[in-house]
């Protein structure tokens, strides 16, 4: 397939174009199967470029978004908790057990239907790769069920799905007061059952949930089963999560709302990606993460939705890009980069988040001439079409 008429192309590849986004104006892209074969100016397209053409009429094209942090599989919603927060209540993670109860009671068909609906919603807003965590089952049977659902949901009309085990999300009610007994299950039979279905191990490392020794225990056990490491760190209060992420060489530390200078230096030194989730801060009326300080220290930043029924019930990466610019202080280019190749770095996916020869043919066509419009036109659906693995998988309906 030959994609022509690209007014502005974001490649995220410095060898292909200038600036943070590696921009090529007046561009064309040749796709071969599920990969990008060629990228360049439209007046230099190679002759054997194929017969299928997609003319995007001068629009902007960028890599599909890589949403590196979601809790995709759950039952029910927590709208009442949101209403209580809007009336002044504070988020403390307590509502997680409500979703656990609903999720355990739901059939696998219901869970699959819900996760598929959200995955398709994400695709229509431009996400072509999405990480999905377990964490609302909290028994060996249910955690495994959620990972099975995440695997079953992936299809050609959803984003590619990367799975993460989050058995240590909270201590479930039946283990109240005995975190140690619960962690024995998590680090034993639960990980044995779940590790074959996941690539990553996560933990909600927070002084009020799982403190440093607990989180270390979970992550070490995950690593012994061959899983890569990522953490919910420093979300509700300052704590040991960011330091632990650096010490253990985690791929990503997520949230990072409360950081001191030592934390930032440690993340930079160990090349831990900072995955920022401003939609969670927005929906919980929390302070925003110190994104500028992280970027200025040389930390690679990713943006993700944190899609979940408690703190951030959105699948929209364009919304997250808007928040990153207006609330976190990122430039529009930095935000677009963090939402694409930044997310890919957080998941250690070196062929995603870029449009370059050999990369995945995952592309978004915007109803706009430049990527800045994603932030500049908040709340407006600018996703004209989405190409995933070389196929057009979404096209906006024409109205009027």
Q: Which residues here bind Fe ion, judged by CB under 5 A? A: 306
385 binds, among Fe ion, ligand NIG, none (CB under 5 to 8 A by kind): none
Residue closer to ligand NIG, measured from CB, 9 or 251: 251
Residue closer to ligand NIG, measured from CB, 49 or 115:
115
By CB under 6 A, is residue 328 in contact with ligand NIG?
no
Among 204, 210, 313, 319, binds ligand NIG (CB under 6 A): 204
Report CA-CA distances (Å) from 176 to 170, 189, 230, 243.
10, 19, 25, 27
Cβ proximity of 326 and 52 under 8 Å: no
H helices present in the chain, as ranges: 79-86, 96-105, 108-124, 140-153, 179-185, 191-194, 212-224, 241-248, 261-269, 278-283, 291-296, 317-326, 332-337, 343-346, 373-376
Residue 186: its H or E element: none
Q: How far is the CB of 9 from ligand NIG (least distance, A)?
A: 33
Which of the listed partners (Fe ion, ligand NIG, none) does 235 bind, with a CB threshold of 5 to 8 Å by partner kind? Answer: ligand NIG
The strand pairing partners of 39, in sequence order, are: 29
Stretch that binds ligand NIG, among 91-99, 140-148, 194-202, 364-372 (CB under 6 A): 91-99
96 or 186: whose CB is closer to Fe ion?
A: 96
Q: Of 280 and 365, which CB lies nearer to ligand NIG in the complex structure? A: 280
Residue 390 interacting with ligand NIG (CB under 6 A): no
Site string for ligand NIG, 47-76 (x = CB under 6 A): ------------------------x-----
Contact status: 308 vs ligand NIG (CB under 6 A): yes
Number of residues near ligand NIG (by CB under 6 A): 14
CB of 23 to ligand NIG, least distance (A): 33
For the residues of 328-361, what is the DSSP string, one character each?
S---HHHHHHIIIIIHHHHTT-TTSS--STTSB-
- Judged by phi (left if over 0) then psi (alpha if -120 to 50, else beta), residue 248 lies in alpha
Q: Is 114 in the site for ligand NIG (CB under 6 A)?
A: no
Which residue from 134, 158, 257, 311 is in contact with ligand NIG, where contact means CB under 6 A?
311
| Nearest residue to 24 (alpha-carbon basis) of 49, 47, 45 | 45
Check binding of 275 to ligand NIG (CB under 6 A): no
**58 neighbors 370 (Cβ within 8 angstroms):** no
The β-bridge relationship of strands 2-10 and 60-63 is: parallel
Closest residue by beta carbon to Fe ion: 306
CB of 393 to ligand NIG, least distance (A): 27
When the beta carbons of 96 and 245 are compared against ligand NIG, the nearer one is: 96
Q: How far is the CB of 70 from Fe ion (least distance, A)?
A: 8
**Residue 305 interacts with, from Fe ion, ligand NIG, none (CB under 5-8 Å by kind):** none
Asked if 359 touches ligand NIG (CB under 6 A), the answer is no
Helix (H) / strand (E) element for 258: namely none
Instruction: Using the rule CB under 6 A, give the single segment among 144-152, 290-298, 307-315, 364-372 that binds ligand NIG.
Output: 307-315
Cα–Cα distance measured from residue 18 to residue 326, given in angstroms and rounded to the nearest whole number:
25
| 203: exposed, middle or buried (Cβ count in 10 Å: 0-12, 13-18, 19+) | buried
Q: Are 314 and 305 in contact (CB under 8 A)?
A: yes
Out of 116, 232, 258, 394, name the contact with ligand NIG by CB under 6 A. 232
Q: Give backbone dihedrals phi and psi of 68, rounded to 5 degrees, phi first.
A: -90, 15
Residue with the shortest CB distance to ligand NIG: 310
Binding residues vs ligand NIG (CB under 6 A): 71, 93, 95-96, 99, 204, 232, 235, 280, 306, 308-311
């Amino acid at each position: 397939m030959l994609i022509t008429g690209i007014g502005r192309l974001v490649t995220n590849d410095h060898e292909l174009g200038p600036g943070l986004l590696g921009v090529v104006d007046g561009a064309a892209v040749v796709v071969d199967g599920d990969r990008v074969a060629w990228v360049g100016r439209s007046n230099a397209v190679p002759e054997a470029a194929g017969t299928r053409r997609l003319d995007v009429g001068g629009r902007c094209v960028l890599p599909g978004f890589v949403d590196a942090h979601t809790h995709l599989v759950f039952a029910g919603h927590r709208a009442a908790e949101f209403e209580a927060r809007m009336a002044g209540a504070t988020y403390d993670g307590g509502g997680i057990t409500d979703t656990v109860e609903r999720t355990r009671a739901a059939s696998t068909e219901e869970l699959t239907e819900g996760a598929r609906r959200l995955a398709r919603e994400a695709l229509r807003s431009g996400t072509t790769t999405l990480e999905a965590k377990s964490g609302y089952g909290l028994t060996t049977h249910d955690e495994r069920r959620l990972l099975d659902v995440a695997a079953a949901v992936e299809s050609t009309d959803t984003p590619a799905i990367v799975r993460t085990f989050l058995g240590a999300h909270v201590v479930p009610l039946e283990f109240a007061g005995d975190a140690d007994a619960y962690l024995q299950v998590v680090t034993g039979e639960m990980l044995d059952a779940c590790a074959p279905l996941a690539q990553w191990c996560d933990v909600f490392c927070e002084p009020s949930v799982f403190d440093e020794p607990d989180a270390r225990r979970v992550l070490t056990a995950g690593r012994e089963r061959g899983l890569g490491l990522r953490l919910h760190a420093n979300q509700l209060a300052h704590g040991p999560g960011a330091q632990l992420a650096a010490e253990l060489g985690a791929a990503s530390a997520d949230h990072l709302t409360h950081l001191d200078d030592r934390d930032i230096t440690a993340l930079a030194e160990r090349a831990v990606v900072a995955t920022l989730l401003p939609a969670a801060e927005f929906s919980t009326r929390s302070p925003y993460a110190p994104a500028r300080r992280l970027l200025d220290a040389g930390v690679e930043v990713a943006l993700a939705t944190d899609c979940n029924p408690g703190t951030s019930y959105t699948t929209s990466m364009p919304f997250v890009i808007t928040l990153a610019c207006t609330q976190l202080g990122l430039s529009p280019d930095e935000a677009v980069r963090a939402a694409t190749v930044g997310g890919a770095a957080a998941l250690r996916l070196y062929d995603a988040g870029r449009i370059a020869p050999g990369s995945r043919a995952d592309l978004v066509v915007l109803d706009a001439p430049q990527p800045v419009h994603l932030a500049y036109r908040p709340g407006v659906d600018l996703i004209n079409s989405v190409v995933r693995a070389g196929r057009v998988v979404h096209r906006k309906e024409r109205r009027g």
